Amino acid sequence: MDDKQIQTLEQVQQFVASSQTIEFKGINTKEKYQWIEEVLKKFKYGWLKRNGKGILRRYIEKVTGYSRAQVARLVSSYHESGRLRVTEYHRHRFPEKYTMTEVGLLAKTDELHGWLSGPATKKILEREFKVYGHTQFENISGISVAQIYNLRHSNRYRGKHYTHTKPVISRIGERIKPEPQGRPGHIRVDTVHQGDDKKQKGVYHINAVDEVTQWEIVASVSRITEYDLEPLLENMLNQFPFTIRGFHSDNGGEYVNRTVADLLNKLLIRFTRSRPRRPDDNGLVESKNGSIIRKNLGYAHIPQSCANLLNVYHLEHLNPYINFHRPCFFPVAIIDRKGKMKNTYPYDKIKTPYE
d(CA 271, CA 187): 10
110 and 179 housed in the same domain = no
pLDDT the model gives residue 24 = 56
239 and 295 housed in the same domain = yes
**Single residue among 111, 130, 158 that ends a domain in this structure:** 158
40 and 110 housed in the same domain = no
Residue 347 domain-assigned?
no
pLDDT the model gives residue 117 = 87
Residue 349 domain-assigned?
no
Contact 114, 76 (CB under 8 A): no
pLDDT the model gives residue 252 = 85
206 and 314 housed in the same domain = yes
Residue 163 domain-assigned?
no
Contact 287, 345 (CB under 8 A): no
119 and 257 housed in the same domain = no
76 and 201 housed in the same domain = no
151 and 295 housed in the same domain = no
CATH code for the domain of 308? 3.30.420.10
Q: Is 161 left (phi over 0), alpha (psi -120 to 50) or beta?
A: left
Q: What is the mean pLDDT of each run of 10 residues along the chain (355 residues)?
A: 70 71 63 82 80 83 84 83 76 82 89 84 90 91 91 79 58 85 92 88 94 94 88 92 92 87 90 86 89 90 93 94 90 87 86 90
260 and 147 housed in the same domain = no
Residue 335 domain-assigned?
no
Nearest to 282 by CA among 268, 291, 272: 272
Residue 350 domain-assigned?
no
185 and 317 housed in the same domain = yes
186 and 297 housed in the same domain = yes
pLDDT the model gives residue 52 = 82
Residue 188 domain-assigned?
yes
**Where are the strands (E) in the chain, listed by range?**
174-175, 186-193, 204-210, 216-221, 246-249, 270-273, 332-335, 341-344
Run of H or E residues at 228: helix 226-238
Angle at Cα 97 formed by Cα 96 and Cα 99, nearest 5°? Answer: 75
Residue 26 domain-assigned?
yes
Q: What is the pTM of this model?
A: 0.54
Residue 287 domain-assigned?
yes
The torsion defined by the Cα of 299, 304, 307 and 313, in degrees rounded to 10, comes to -40
Contact 286, 190 (CB under 8 A): yes
DSSP state of 176: S
Which domain does 298 fall in, by range? 174-326
217 and 189 housed in the same domain = yes
Total of domains in the chain: 3
223 and 301 housed in the same domain = yes
